[in-house]
Structure 1
Amino acid sequence: MPSRTADDLLYAADPVIWCREILGFFPDSWQCDLLRSRSRKIILNCSRQSGKSTTCAALGLHESIYRRPSFGLVVAPTQDQSSELMMKFDEFRSAVELPSDYLSTDTKLAVKFANGNRFVARPGSEKSARSFSAVTLLLEDEASRVLDDLYNSVRPMLAVSNGRHILMSTPFGKRGHFFKIWSEERDLWQWFEIPAEKCPRITKEFLEEEQRTNPWFEQEYHCVFMDSEGSIFSSDLFRSLANPAVSVLKL
């Protein structure tokens, strides 16, 4: 481990200060709340390009350096998507002065530190992800597109470690575990809803143009779960058919 100076102790205690002074990353207000949170279950329903993956990459690096044991695992629908978060992790890592022998393994999809901590990115395959155990930080990127089989297979990895699970995504229709958690189980999670207007890097002019031309505008930028494209009947109608007490049709 790096020597623990007074500054280092401060950085260990407050990841936001560490991000600003070491990484040169200045988090937005909601990102500060996320970085400082110790909740075990967090769900992020965010606009595109709001900075959710960047924040979680910084969080993963902070825990890899300052918490032990730490095993961060990234899962996503595809290897390209999990690799993207790993790339952000590596970019931040290059800003940190670590001893030359501090890394024992370093590949495009896995880093093992000399203190035994690991940070690994895996593609969206239930078979390729289920072999891990004792995960302390499980990051599920683009969670609205992650198959339920993968979600169900990675959850037990947190059982012994009592690890943390962070779901982050933009909505993708009224389906899957991300929608179910957001619509029915949100009280069990610390939740963040971040529309595009909360991201100072997205301009008003860009959003005005997108609103006129992008049919998925509300879903992509305002965190709204839309019915799947091409659906003849709405998901609300199907729920009403399953439960006669619910009425959505007005004649």
Structure 2
Amino acid sequence: MAKRDRQLTKLSDEVGRVGNLIKAVAMEGYTSPSLWAAKALGLELDDWQAEIMEADANRICVVASRQSGKSTITAARAAYTARTNPGFRIVLVSPTFRQSSAMRTKVVGCLQRAEVHYGQSREEIRLLNGSSIIALPGDDPDKVRGATADLVIIDECAFVKENVSAAILPMLTSTGGDLIAVSTPNGPQGLFHELATDKDAHVINVPADRIARFDEDTLSDLRTRLGPARASQELDCAFGVIYKNSLD
């Protein structure tokens, strides 16, 4: 019986190893980033979310409605990029460290769902392939100055201080890296507005009526609570009035 038990254990281990190998091969067989997000993360992607995953440009600007899910899909893009590019350096920046930490947590969630091995500290996620993802606050230029990146993702970019934006761009100078700026508009000012109106940038506009999970009643309620001027900006993605803080 003992010999048989050992044989069964060995067989079980071998079946498990083969199963993991098959799963790994299947993961590598995903033909596109959006398919990976759908299959590995279980996300049901709107067309604009698939566009964010697939966009291949040096400068990408996502002008999105409040509560659109833009941070979630951007975190998925960061996880996919780190997983498929060994030694890649990704920097996440948000208006505050709390928001940057929340973004980092979303990236960790994506890695966990996709069963990608990683280690992490308070600010950094490091994958076995040598790629790293660092979360930095966007309220102090001294905290972002000096970093080098292959990809910078600025979440709620319209609400990051202008002097911080100026400190972020040099991160990409030596690497020729990419920039993804994601935000609800906050008036015709700053880096985000510049990117949104840059003919050379890949601009993805996501007004509320492009979001599948928003029904007419939900949008009507949001418009009533926000008022016409703010709804125009935060739901329809118009660059109107400047606000001090994001409501997202």
For Structure 1 versus Structure 2, the TM-score category normalised by the shorter chain is 0.7 to 0.9
Q: CA deviation at 1:156?
A: 1.4
Residue 195 of structure 1 and its aligned partner are, at CA, apart by 0.4
Distance (whole Å) between structure 2 residues aligned to residue 229 and residue 165 of structure 1:
24
Based on CA coordinates, which of the two structures has the bigger radius of gyration? 2
- Determine helix, strand or coil for the equivalent of 2:240: coil
Q: CA deviation at 1:47?
A: 0.2
Matched, 1:87 2:101: no
Percent identical residues: 25
Residue 229 of structure 1, CA deviation: 6.3
- Unaligned 5+ runs, structure 1: 231-251
Deviations 1:72-96 (A, max 9, x none): 1111110111112111111112212
How far, CA to CA, are the matches of 1:191 and 1:140 in structure 2?
Answer: 14
Q: Give the Cα separation in 2 of the matches to 1:68 and 1:161.
A: 15
TM-score (norm 2): 0.82
Where does 1:1-251 land on structure 2 (aligned, <5 Å)? 6-11=25-30, 13-98=31-116, 102-103=117-118, 105-124=119-138, 125-133=140-148, 135-183=149-197, 186-215=198-227, 216-228=230-242
Question: Shift in Å at residue 20 of structure 1?
Answer: 1.3
Deviation at 1:193, TM superposition (A): 0.8
Q: Could you tell me the TM-score, scaled by structure 1's length?
A: 0.82
> What is the CA distance between 1:27 and its match in structure 2?
1.5
Relative to structure 1, the CA distance from residue 71 to residue 52 in structure 2 (aligned partners, 3 Å threshold; closer, same or farther) is same
CA RMSD of aligned residues (A): 2.0
**Structure 2 vs 1, CA of residues 10 and 229 (structure 1 numbering), >3 Å: closer, same or farther?**
closer
Work out the number of aligned pairs and report it.
221
Query: Is contact 2:185–2:234 with CA below 8 Å preserved after alignment?
Result: yes
Judged with a 3 Å threshold, the aligned counterparts in structure 2 of structure 1 residues 97 and 106 are, in CA distance, closer, same or farther, namely same
Counterparts of 1:137 and 1:143, CA distance in 2 = 15
Instruction: Give 2:225's aligned amino acid.
Output: T
Distance 1:131 1:202 in 2: 41
Normalized per residue, which structure has more helix? Answer: 2
User: SS at 1:38's partner residue?
Assistant: coil
After TM superposition, give the deviation of residue 169 of structure 1 in Å. Answer: 0.4
